[in-house]
């Protein structure tokens, strides 16, 4: 996480404890025309703060399907209620890590960024600007270096903390001199040739993803492996540090929470070592007993310094 207020770095622990202690009825905030987010559960467990968020569209009218007749009809929810989808999110404020359950129609990192800004502004904490960037898996660098010919490379970076000086590459220097919030660059190789893997943009990409808490928003490299005839795309989207959890959709909400938190604890132990520089980025063991639909937890983070 890269968090800041209008005046200083974000007090990560203070902010997330404040959110965890808000009355649930006061946590509702609109992040888009068709999406509202609220907190329905918050638990503090040592260094972790677990949240259960719900999201949905309060203006959406449910459509019911009659299996016997094939007819459809509109339904109404009770007053002051709306259809919601639950998403579990855990935070490790001291290490500036956040773990988000990846669900269809659930809460995404982008919608959480908007939510944290809206709820902090609406409820008197003061505006909080948070960037939630993925923590790369070790496989990302390997996949890039496995390419023998690179046709295209691109990277998007956010401002680390409040100052671009926390990063030390040519793209960050340009963004800092421009007083920008983010920066992007894309480079194409000449026809039939390859981009250098030792210098230039590939060097910038490798240097950024090697940081213990990168501020890389997105990146992709397109090229071919030795002996292959088709292009291969390597992206941060496909190579994030993550773990799979098995959740029984028919179980009570508290049991579903615990199924996710078991996986969070394992992923947090791996991620903490990485951001503290105590171990190389590992490939987490993702095997868990099958129960129902797998959910993916992804970990996002930012630069080298520990939380404030």
Quick check: helix, strand or coil at residue 262? helix
On whether the CB atoms of residues 157 and 217 are closer than 8 A, the answer is: yes
φ, ψ of residue 203 to 5 degrees: the values are -60, -40
Render pLDDT for 220-237 as a digit per residue (tens, 0 to 9): 999 999 988 899 999 999
Residue 301 has pLDDT above 90, yes or no: no
On whether the CB atoms of residues 36 and 82 are closer than 8 A, the answer is: yes
State both tokens at 16. 């997330």
Residue 280 has pLDDT above 60, yes or no: no
Average pLDDT over residues 206-212: 89
Residue 299 has pLDDT above 70, yes or no: no
Render pLDDT for 107-132 as a digit per residue (tens, 0 to 9): 999 999 999 999 999 999 999 999 99
Q: How far apart are CA 82 and CA 57, in angstroms?
A: 7
Render pLDDT for 61-117 as a digit per residue (tens, 0 to 9): 888 998 999 999 988 888 888 888 999 999 999 999 999 998 888 899 999 999 999
Q: How far apart are CA 128 and CA 168, in angstroms?
A: 25
**Summary mean pLDDT of the chain:** 87
Per the confidence metrics, is the pTM higher than 0.75?
yes
Residue 45 has pLDDT above 70, yes or no: yes
Q: How far apart are CA 247 and CA 131, in angstroms?
A: 28
Asked which of 161-165, 199-203, 206-210, 272-276 is least confident by mean pLDDT, the reply is 161-165
Instruction: Provide long-range contacts, Cβ within 8 A and 24+ apart, for 189-193.
Output: 189/149, 189/150, 189/151, 189/152
């Amino acid at each position: 996480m890269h968090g800041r207020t209008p005046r200083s770095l974000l007090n990560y622990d203070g902010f997330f404890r404040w959110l965890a202690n808000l009355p649930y009825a006061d946590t509702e905030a609109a992040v888009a025309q068709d999406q509202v987010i609220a907190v329905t559960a918050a638990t503090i467990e040592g260094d972790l703060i677990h949240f259960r968020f719900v999201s949905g569209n309060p203006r959406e009218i449910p459509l019911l399907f009659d299996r016997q007749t094939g007819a459809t009809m509109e339904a109404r929810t009770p007053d002051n209620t709306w259809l919601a989808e639950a998403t579990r999110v855990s935070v490790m404020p001291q290490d500036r890590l956040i773990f988000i359950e990846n669900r269809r129609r659930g809460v995404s990192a982008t919608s959480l960024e908007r939510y944290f800004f809206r709820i902090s502004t609406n409820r008197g904490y003061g505006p909080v600007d948070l960037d939630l960037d993925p923590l790369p898996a070790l496989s990302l660098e390997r996949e890039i270096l496995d390419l023998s010919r690179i046709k295209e490379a691109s990277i998007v970076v956010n401002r680390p903390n409040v100052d671009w000086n926390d990063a030390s590459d040519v793209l960050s220097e340009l963004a800092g001199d421009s007083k920008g919030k983010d920066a992007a660059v894309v480079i194409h190789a000449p026809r039939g040739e390859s981009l250098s893997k030792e210098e230039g943009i590939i060097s910038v990409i490798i240097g950024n993803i090697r940081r213990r808490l990168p501020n890389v928003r997105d990146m992709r490299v397109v090229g071919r492996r030795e002996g292959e005839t088709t292009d291969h795309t390597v992206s941060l989207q496909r190579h994030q540090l993550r773990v799979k959890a098995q959740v029984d959709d028919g179980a009570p909400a508290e049991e579903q929470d615990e199924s996710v938190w078991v996986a969070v604890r394992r992923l947090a132990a791996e991620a903490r070592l990485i951001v503290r520089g105590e171990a190389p980025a590992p490939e987490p063991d993702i095997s868990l007993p099958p129960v129902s639909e797998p959910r993916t937890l992804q970990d996002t983070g930012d630069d080298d310094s520990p939380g404030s």
